[in-house]
Amino acid sequence: MPRRVRHGVRFPWWLPNVGVAAAAVALFVVVAGNGVQGPAAGTAAWWVLTVTLHLPMLVIVAFLSGGVIERLGYFWRGRRPERPGRLPFRYPSVCVQLPMFNEHAVAARVIEAACALRWPRDRLTVQVLDDSTDGDTRALVDAVVARIRAGTGVNVQVLRREHRHGYKAGALEEGRKRTDAEFIAIFDADFVPPRDYLLRAIPHFYGPGGVPDHGLALVQAQWGHLNHDESALTRAQSLWVDDHHTLQMSWRSARWRFVNFTGTAGVWRAAAVEAAGGWRAASLVEDCELSFRHLFAGYRTTFVKEIVAPAELPATYTAYKAQQKRWTQGWVQVQRMHLATLLFRHRCSPGRRLHLVYHMCTSWQWPLWGLWITVLPALIHSGLWFGALGTAAGVALYVLPSLLWMSLVTALASAETRHTYTEGLTPSSFRRRFARILPYLVVNTGMLPHQFSAFTEGLFGPMHSEFERTPKAGDAASAAGAGAGATRPRRYGVKVHWPYVAAELFCVAYQLAWASVFLAEGLVWCALGAGYVAACVAYLLFRYGDHAGKVLFVLDPHRLLGARRVRRSRRAERVPAPAG
């Protein structure tokens, strides 16, 4: 897709957002202000107009149907364990790469875990790809590496670059060029790989007789959780991770022999990475971009749900938004680079092509949902919705599809994550896991304008965007592993993207305006629906800044409460004591 330029100036990615907001305001003024009404419900003109205006919903239902096929297909192909091959007599050489940038809270923990992996010491190298700019973090990394190297003899190296060219992809490529290992395992700083990870993952690159399978480029493990019960936010995230990994990726791997690398907890065949052109910072999801290049080059990738690498879920809404922005924006950039190849040049069956397009374009659900919640209130007000045929029809068509889909996903993800949790599946554990559906719905609804903005930036913004790290909370005890001289983990700033904030504020105001219109007309259920959307978005907007203990970006609730207590105490001191 060519770069959009206007008179020598880069096309502002947020301009389409402004256009959508202006169109939404115009829609509200015309429909609500002028009382526009469509044809009588049930007439031929009504059916044609209503079905046409429901096109976004129909595409959403098509995406949901694809999701149902994947989840139910898991029981057909995907549920059975992936069978590893046999390692050769002489173990292959492995390089473990740990890319990190100012990861003071978790650096020591992941370095220690990587160096504790069970593998012949003469066949193992650990590369700490430290791009940190914070002096304390660099000192912490150096101290941990020196202590481990002296105490265990593990060949662990710290590789630093003068400039962060290419961000994470640039660091991985620099490290790749400095190793001749046959396999490269990659772990982000918030992961804690189990000690037997390599012993369980590497055999999948070999057949039963120990013969290398050179067509297999990647073995991807399942993400586990270190803090899934910490808050409503982490419970919501654990649900979608369980669903995506246990159900979706297992089926994709078994049915199509292709999954995208998730950026961590995977092992690459070094020769395959070399053949595909190495790591490139062409998109914010360099892992997925490399995966599709391997697909086009004829390689296979596989997912092994039986190998679980636990990780820290983003513990704050600010961190979660930063992560999701990067992923959604990056996936759209991948489409800009590779969708045409997938559609017209990659040789495969029609069914496989359809699935791969669905796989690459899943992020389109965000703008579709954003468009739908913008248009639906106007359709309700003008009578061009199926609820005009009766309450039962409205509930069946607008509520049940999403509710049934979400219930199915939650039930299957809660029942099938046998390898992720130490606690076995019991009626009580199933109920607790199924209850994650509530925070999941709130968080996903609240993320709509944010994700819409990320999609727009990915589609219209520059291809080479800044890679913004996801803040990690970590464990102070783990981070102190460098010894008594270790400093306390620190917090790092997160960039506030004001166009995203503006989109969230507009969404709240727009939905509340429609809620007031529906209340005035006695459409209580419709008013509750619009109010629910507004409340979810407002809640996540309010929590922006919580990575630094703040709300609304700058307000410190603890300091405000402390100041209130001080004022209260001073007023009490000024009140004269009652006469005895």
Q: Which residues are catalytic?
A: 131, 287
CB atoms within 10 A of CB 486: 18
Q: Which tokens is 436 given?
A: 């994650």
Q: Which tokens is 214 given?
A: 């050179």
Contacts of 399 by beta carbon, 8 Å cutoff, 6+ apart: none
CA geometry: angle 273, 274, 279, nearest 5 deg: 60
Q: Which tokens is 293 given?
A: 């290049």
> Hey, CA dihedral for 410, 411, 416, 420, is it positive or negative?
positive
Phi, psi of 267 (to 5 degrees): -120, 125
Distances in Å between the alpha carbon of 352 and those of 109, 295, 301, 347, 357?
41, 12, 15, 10, 9
Q: Which tokens is 462 given?
A: 């520059």
Q: Strand 155-159's sheet: what is its strand order? A: 155-159, 124-130, 94-100, 183-186, 266-269, 216-225, 300-311
How far is it, in rounded angstroms, from Cα 465 to Cα 462?
6
Q: Which tokens is 425 given?
A: 């599946």
Contact 370, 449 (CB under 8 A): yes
Residue 145 gets the label, from left (phi > 0), alpha (psi -120 to 50) or beta, of alpha
Distances in Å between the alpha carbon of 122 and those of 91, 94, 118?
10, 10, 12
Task: Name the residue with tokens 């599809």.
Answer: 401
Contacts of 296 by beta carbon, 8 Å cutoff, 6+ apart: 338, 341, 342, 345, 346
How far is it, in rounded angstroms, from Cα 436 to Cα 451?
21
Distances in Å between the alpha carbon of 509 and those of 20, 286, 318, 381, 516?
14, 36, 21, 17, 11
Contact 257, 303 (CB under 8 A): no
Q: Looking at the chain, how many residues does it have?
A: 580
